Structure 1
Amino acid sequence: MTITQDTRILEDGSLCFGGHRITPAAWQRQPAPATPGRSVSLTEAFAALAQQASLRHLVVAVIGPRAATPAQEQAAEAVGRALGSYGITLICGGKTGVMAAASKGCQAAGGLMIGILPGTDPAEANPFVSIALPTGLSEGRNMVIARAARVLVAIGGSYGTLSEVAYGLHFDKPVITLEDAPQIDGVRPARTVAEAVDLTLAALLDQARSPDHV
C-alpha cells in the first residue's frame, strides 16, 4: 500500500500533512498556509513532532499470537522499537510471542508498553511490559485492547488475533497487517516492517481532529 499524502515541515518548524498543519499536543489539524516547506518522510515527521510535544496520548496496539514464528517476533520487535522511539504509547496482551517481542523493542527504544492481561495477576506480564493491567476478563480483554487503541498492528495470526482484528474493524479503527496476519476485508496489508510503520503513522495523522470537532 502506497502513502501518497504530502508531508512537509514548514519554515516555522510545524508539520504539514495532506494540506493541514498538525498540532501535536492537542492532535488537531488546521489548513496549512501556502508557504514552502521541506518534504520529509513520515518517520522524519514523527521525529519532529516528538521534539515539539509528548505523543503519549497516541495509543497503538501491537497484536499477535503467543506461538509466534521467529520472523513474526523479529517484525514485532522492530515495530515496537520504531513506534516506541517516537514516544507513542503501545499496548498489547502482555504475554509471550509477538506481545513480548513488541514489548522488548518498545522498552529498548525508551517507550511505554502497557500490557492488558487476561488474568488477575500482574506477574503474568512479560518482563518488558512497562505497566501491567490485569483485567480478569480472559479473552474479553481483546475487546479492551481494540477499543483503547487508535490503530492496531497485527503481526501473525491466531484465533485470538483474529478476534482483535475483528473488534478493531468493528470499532472503525485502522488495522495494519504483517507477517501472515488475518487478511479480511478492511485491513491494510503491509509487506515490510517499514511499510507497516508508515501505514500506522499515516493513520494516526489522518485522525488529527479539526479545532471545531467536539
Structure 2
Amino acid sequence: MSTGLRWLPDIRALVADGRRFDPSTLSWRADDTDHAGAADVSATAALRHLAATQALRRVPIGIIGPREATQHQCALAEELGFAMAQHGLQLLCGGKNGVMEAACKGHAAGGGLPIGLLPDEEWQAANPYVAIPIATGIGPARNAIIARSCLVLVAVGGGVGTLSEMALGLQFKRLVLALADAPVVDGVARLDSPEAALARIAGHILGNL
C-alpha cells in the first residue's frame, strides 16, 4: 500500500500531498514546491534519505530488554540496532549487558553512537559498545528517564524490569513495540521482525503512516 511519500532528490526533501516534511521538528508543513521529478518511497526509505541530509533530529529510540538474554533475543536486538544506525536513528538504552549490549553492538557497527543511560554511579559500568555513557547513580529509577526520553520503545524479550519500562512508556504516551517473547501488555504492538519494527518506527516519525 502506498504511503503517499515522495522524495525530491534535487532539493533533498520529503513531500506528500502539498506538504513538506521538516526533519528538524519531525512535522509537516504546507508547501507549494513543484514536485516534478519526485519518486515514490516507503517510510523506511524516506527515513534513510532524510538521515543522509544530516538534518534529521535524532530524538532517541529505545531498545529495552533483559540482561540475561537468549541468543535469539540478542540477535534481534543487534539487527535492529544496526538498522537504526543505517537509517539515522539514535539509540538510547540502559547501557548494560544482554539485549542492551547487543543493540549497542549493532548500532555501533552501523555507524551509530549508542547512548547508555546507566543505573550505576560511574560510566565505566557501561558495556563496551556504548559510545556515550551517562551514569545516573539512581538505579532502576533510570527506567523512567529512558521511557520519557524516547520517541519509541522496542522491547526485545524481558522480565519485570522491561515490563516496567513498557508500562512507563505507555503512561508517557509513547509508541511501545514488542519483539520475541517480550511481556504481553495491552496497547503494545507485537511484531515478528526487526524490519517490521523499523517500518513502524519510520511511520511514527513521519506521522503515523
Q: Structure 1-normalised TM-score?
A: 0.88
Moved more, 66-75 or 9-18: 9-18
CA contact under 8 A between 1:61 and 1:152: conserved in structure 2?
yes
Change over 3 Å in CA distance of 1:163–1:64 after alignment to 2: same
CA contact under 8 A between 2:48 and 2:88: conserved in structure 1?
no
* AA in 2 matched with 1:24: P
Q: Matches of 2:4 and 2:175 in 1, distance apart?
A: 20
Residue from 6, 9, 15 that aligns with 1:8: 6
CA contact under 8 A between 1:17 and 1:205: conserved in structure 2?
no
What is the number of equivalent residue pairs in this alignment? Answer: 205
Q: Matches of 1:146 and 1:113 in 2, distance apart?
A: 16
Q: Structure 2-normalised TM-score?
A: 0.90
Deviations 1:12-53 (A, max 9, x none): 542135874211133231135584632212221111101223
Q: What is residue 23 of structure 2 aligned with on the other side? A: 24
1:112 aligned counterpart, secondary structure: coil
Q: What is residue 177 of structure 1 aligned with on the other side? A: 178
* AA in 2 matched with 1:201: A
Q: What is residue 68 of structure 2 aligned with on the other side? A: 67
Where does structure 1 differ by over 3 angstroms across 4 or more consecutive aligned residues?
Answer: 10-13, 17-20, 31-37
CA contact under 8 A between 2:3 and 2:42: conserved in structure 1?
no
Q: What is residue 210 of structure 1 aligned with on the other side? A: none
Displacement after TM superposition at 1:150 (Å)? 0.9
- The correspondence of residues 24-43 of structure 1 with structure 2, limited to 5 A, is 24-31=23-30, 33=32, 35=35, 37-43=38-44
Q: Matches of 1:175 and 1:4 in 2, distance apart?
A: 24
Change over 3 Å in CA distance of 1:39–1:134 after alignment to 2: same
Displacement after TM superposition at 1:86 (Å)? 2.6
Q: Matches of 1:67 and 1:95 in 2, distance apart?
A: 10
* 2:83 counterpart of 1:120: no
1:105 aligned counterpart, secondary structure: helix
What is the percentage of aligned positions where both structures have the same residue?
A: 40
CA contact under 8 A between 2:65 and 2:100: conserved in structure 1?
yes
Displacement after TM superposition at 1:195 (Å)? 0.3
- The correspondence of residues 51-62 of structure 1 with structure 2, limited to 5 A, is 51-62=52-63
Q: What is residue 91 of structure 2 aligned with on the other side? A: 90
Change over 3 Å in CA distance of 1:55–1:14 after alignment to 2: closer
Considering only aligned residues, what root-mean-square deviation do their CA atoms show, in Å?
A: 2.0
CA contact under 8 A between 1:120 and 1:134: conserved in structure 2?
yes
* AA in 2 matched with 1:39: D
Q: Matches of 1:72 and 1:113 in 2, distance apart?
A: 18
Moved more, 53-62 or 171-180: 53-62
Q: Matches of 1:96 and 1:40 in 2, distance apart?
A: 36
Moved more, 23-32 or 167-176: 23-32
Q: Matches of 1:77 and 1:123 in 2, distance apart?
A: 22
- Gaps (5+ residues) in structure 1? 208-214
Change over 3 Å in CA distance of 1:54–1:129 after alignment to 2: farther
Change over 3 Å in CA distance of 1:56–1:107 after alignment to 2: farther
Q: What is residue 106 of structure 2 aligned with on the other side? A: 105
Change over 3 Å in CA distance of 1:32–1:184 after alignment to 2: farther
